[in-house]
């Protein structure tokens, strides 16, 4: 079911931060401290994002995470799917179960409307990318978006 969990929230924040620092390696500890997140949970979130090909990790004392794609290529949908799997707002929608898992499909008066809602939510999540998200970020002290440079 559609539910933006803490894991998705932390993933969005972490990817947003990685967009801001543009290619620098950032440790889990640094992100967790900056945004007040539990490091253990954030570490697991970043591992899932790495498995999904959205971030890359570098091991070692000077290691950390960085984006694996350009911010414009990373959509909210990709992040959602990496952490929670395919979107499913009802038993009859999405890739999980589908019509076969719904006992009232043949006579359901709202199945088409629910399908439309499902498709619109997916489209919105697909249309939101991190290049746009970072442009709207409340982090003027961290980044000058017009010049795309870190301000220190």
- Whole-angstrom distance, CA of residue 44 vs CA of residue 20: 21
Residue 109 belongs to some domain of the structure: no
Q: What are phi and psi of 145, to 5 degrees?
A: -65, -30
62 belongs to a structural domain: yes
Query: How many of the other CB atoms lie within 10 Å of CB of 26?
Result: 20
Residue 145 placed within a domain = yes
* CATH number for the domain harbouring residue 37: 1.10.10.10
Q: What domain count does the chain have?
A: 1
Q: Give the pairing of strands 149-150 and 55-58.
A: unpaired
For 71, residues 6+ apart whose C-beta sits below 8 A from its C-beta are 19, 129, 130, 131, 133, 134
Q: Is the pLDDT of residue 141 over 50?
A: no
Whether residue 55 lies inside any domain: the answer is: yes
- Within a domain: 121: no
Write out the residue range of the structural domain in which residue 36 sits: 6-85+129-150
Residue 142 lies in a domain: yes
Q: Model's pTM, two decimal places?
A: 0.79
Whether 101 maps to a domain, the answer reads no
Question: pLDDT higher for 138 or 68?
Answer: 68
State how far the Cα of 56 lies from the Cα of 26, in Å rounded to an integer: 11
* Residue labelled with tokens 């999904």: 52
pLDDT in tens, 71-83: 999 999 999 999 9
Question: Does some domain include residue 106?
Answer: no
- Write the secondary structure of the chain as one string of H (helix), E (strand) and C (coil): CCCCCHHHHHHHHHHHHHHHHCCCCECHHHHHHHHCCCHHHHHHHHHHHHHCCCEEEECCCCCEEEECCCHHHCEHHHHHHHHHCCCCCCCCCCCCCHHHHCCCHHHCCCHHHHHHHHHHHHHHHHHCEHHHHHHCCCCCCCEECCCCEECC
Quick check: 145 pLDDT over 60?
no
Q: Quick: pLDDT tens for 88-128.
A: 777 777 665 566 667 777 788 888 888 888 889 889 999 99
Give Cα separations from 117 to 53, 94, 97 (angstroms). Answer: 28, 11, 17
Average pLDDT, the chain: 84
């Amino acid at each position: 079911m559609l539910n933006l969990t803490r894991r998705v929230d932390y993933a969005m924040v972490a990817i947003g931060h990685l967009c801001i620092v543009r290619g620098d390696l950032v440790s889990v500890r640094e992100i967790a401290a900056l945004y007040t997140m539990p490091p253990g949970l954030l570490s697991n979130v970043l591992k899932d994002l790495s498995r999904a090909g959205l971030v890359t990790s570098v091991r070692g004392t000077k290691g950390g995470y960085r984006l694996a794609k350009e911010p414009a290529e990373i959509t909210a949908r990709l992040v959602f799917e990496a952490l929670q799997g395919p979107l499913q707002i009802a038993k009859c929608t999405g890739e999980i179960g589908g019509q076969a898992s719904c006992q009232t499909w043949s006579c359901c008066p709202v199945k088409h409307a629910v399908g439309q809602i499902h498709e619109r939510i997916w489209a919105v999540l697909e249309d939101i990318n991190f290049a746009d998200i970072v442009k709207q970020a409340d982090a003027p002290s961290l980044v000058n978006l017009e010049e795309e440079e870190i301000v220190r």
